[in-house]
Amino acid sequence: MRIIEQHKSIQELKDYLPRMSKEDRYDFEMFQKRDKDDEELDALAAAKLEAMQKRYVTRKSKQDIDALFRKMTEHNDDPGSRK
């Protein structure tokens, strides 16, 4: 993992800090300190950071958003539904 990718991952995970477990929070704080010092993570730490990103960061695809919008518009178009 390059230092740019590492920095982006850490910045992205900052929003999920309250949801993290105690162990993950401790590891993440260590990653932040290493990122602040411009140190590149070793292979084990990079693997942990990637696992944390997969665990906490949820990405929505365009199909998910389109399906949600379609569901909302169909619900509003029903003649028996309240607005």
Check pLDDT > 90 for residue 66.
Answer: no
Taking the model in full, what pTM does it have? 0.67
16 closest CA partner among 31, 1, 34, 38: 31
For the chain, the domains span 3-77
pLDDT, position 77:
63
- Tens of pLDDT, residues 36-45: 998 888 999 9
Structure token digits, residue 66: 């389109």
23 or 3: which leads in pLDDT: 23
How high does pLDDT run on average in the chain?
Answer: 85
